[in-house]
Amino acid sequence: MTATNTRERVAAALEGLTFELVDTRDGMLTLRVPSATVRTVLERLHGRAGFEQNTLVTAVDRFPEEPRFDVIWQFLSYDHNDRVRVETRISGANPSVPTCTDLWSGASFSERECFDMFGIRFDGHPDLRRLLMPQGYTHFPLRKDFPHGGIEPDRLYREWDAKRRAEWGANA
């Protein structure tokens, strides 16, 4: 299958929706879609275009531009042996996009990681907890305005330690 066929298949699947084809250096078919219709685009790619596997959900912080975040999905089709990338731009204030875990359940951890690192909420995700950073941490490390050395990385440890010592004092 050639890239032309991928493009035709995707264009047929997304009939009636607005999208923009972006030239990328790696040559992967890349669609830029408005954030309002991204959920419909993902459903069509899953159902009509036959992309069975989600390989990536991530984001790019364009700080200080506004809208601030590029959210990026990449999909793979086994039958057609091709890939597609979907990008959408969302606002930096309370950023959120619809989840795709009901379509590709494997996207769950990717979405959790993206939430953990960028603070982008995936609406409808069944279990949107932090994946890498400790639970209770309130900042998002991969945002561009996050300082290099972190914001109070020791806060949770110190809270835990103080609580533990208070318990020792009570038991002593």
Partner 1 sequence: MGSLKPADSEGLGFLATRVDELINWGRKNSLWPMPLGLSCCGIELMAMIGPKFDLARFGAEAARFSPRQCDLLVVAGTLTWKMAEAVRVIYDQMPDPKWVIAMGVCSSSGGMYDSYAVVQGVDSILPVDVYVPGCPPRPDAVIDAIIKLQKKIERESPVRRLLKGPGVIDETGTGRNFKQPNFAFDHSSLDLHPHDPKAKIEELQK
Residues that bind partner 1 (CB under 8 A): 64, 133-134, 141, 144-154, 156-158, 160-162, 165, 168-169
AA identity, residue 123 = D
Q: How far is the CB of 141 from partner 1 (least distance, A)?
A: 5
Q: How far is the CB of 7 from partner 1 (least distance, A)?
A: 38
136: region left, alpha or beta (phi > 0 left; psi from -120 to 50 alpha): left
* Residue with smaller CB distance to partner 1, 72 or 156: 156
Q: How far is the CB of 68 from partner 1 (least distance, A)?
A: 13
* Residue with smaller CB distance to partner 1, 47 or 136: 136
Q: How far is the CB of 70 from partner 1 (least distance, A)?
A: 18
Asked whether the bond before 67 is cis by omega within 30 degrees of 0, the reply is yes
* Residue with smaller CB distance to partner 1, 16 or 169: 169
* Residue with smaller CB distance to partner 1, 89 or 139: 139
Residues 17, 20, 24, 29, CA torsion sign = positive
Burial of 108: CB neighbours in 10 Å, binned 0-12, 13-18, 19+: buried
Residue 79 in 3-state DSSP? coil
